[in-house]
C-alpha cells in the first residue's frame, strides 16, 4: 500500500529526529541555551574563578545549577577544572582555548540582542495590543 501524507510525515519525523540531534548548530544551541552557561562563560572571560567566586559573580544561581553547568561545560571541553586538595578543598575553573573561541559567537549574539531586542519588544507589545482577543498566550 501507499503511504498517506500523514504517515510519511511520521516516518520523516523519526528519520529526522536523529539527524536533528546530529546537526552541529542544534547541538551548540542546546549546549549554550541552558540558563546559566553564557553567564558562566562570561564570568570566566577575564580570569579563572573559584566555585564560590562564580556564585558571588552570578547572583541568583543555586549551587546545584552552578555545579551542573560547570560539569556540562567541562564535559564539553569549554572549561577546565582544577582541584587543589587542601582543607578546605579549593577548585578553580578556567576557559579552555575551545571555550575562548566560542566567546566571539556569544558576543555576536549579545551585540545583535542589544541592538535589536527593543525593536522586538516593541513588536511584541504591538502584536499583543492588536491581537488582544486571539491567542494572548501570556
Secondary structure string (H, E, C) spanning 90-115: EEEEEECHHHHHHHHHHHHHHHHHHH
Q: List the single partner that 83 binds among DNA, its own copies, none, CB under 5 to 8 Å by kind.
A: DNA
> Which of the ranges 38-46, 57-65, 99-107, 114-122 carries the binding residues for DNA, by CB under 7 A?
57-65
The verdict on 34 binding DNA (CB under 7 A) reads yes
- Which of 112, 109, 122 has its CA nearest to residue 41? 109
Q: What is the DSSP letter of 45?
A: S
The verdict on 70 binding DNA (CB under 7 A) reads yes
Report the 10 Å Cβ neighbour count for 77. 11
Q: Are 90 and 83 in contact (CB under 8 A)?
A: yes
Angstrom distance (rounded) from CA 118 to CA 122: 6
Q: List the single partner that 16 binds among its own copies, DNA, none, CB under 5 to 8 Å by kind.
A: its own copies
Which position among 26, 35, 110, 124 is part of the footprint of DNA (CB under 7 A)?
A: 35
Which position among 18, 22, 83, 132 is part of the footprint of DNA (CB under 7 A)?
A: 83
Q: Are 80 and 96 in contact (CB under 8 A)?
A: yes
Closest separation in Å from C-beta 89 to its own copies: 16
The verdict on 25 binding DNA (CB under 7 A) reads no
Residues of this chain that interact with DNA (CB under 7 A) are 10, 13, 34-36, 50-53, 61-65, 67, 70-71, 81, 83, 88-91, 134-135
Amino acid at each position: 500500500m501507499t503511504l498517506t501524507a500523514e504517515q510519511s510525515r511520521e516516518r520523516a519525523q523519526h528519520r529526522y529526529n536523529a539527524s536533528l540531534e546530529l546537526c552541529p548548530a542544534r547541538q551548540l544551541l542546546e549546549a549554550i541555551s541552558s540558563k546559566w552557561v553564557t553567564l558562566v562563560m562570561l564570568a570566566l572571560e577575564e580570569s579563572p574563578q573559584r566555585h564560590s567566586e562564580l556564585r558571588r559573580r552570578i547572583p541568583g544561581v543555586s549551587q546545584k545549577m552552578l555545579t551542573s553547568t560547570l560539569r556540562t561545560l567541562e564535559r564539553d571541553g569549554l572549561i577546565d577544572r582544577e582541584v587543589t586538595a587542601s582543607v578546605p578543598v579549593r577548585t578553580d575553573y578556567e576557559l579552555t582555548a575551545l571555550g575562548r573561541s566560542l566567546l566571539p559567537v556569544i558576543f555576536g549574539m549579545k551585540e545583535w540582542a542589544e541592538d535589536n531586542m527593543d525593536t522586538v519588544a516593541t513588536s511584541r507589545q504591538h502584536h499583543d495590543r492588536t491581537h488582544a482577543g486571539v491567542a494572548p498566550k501570556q
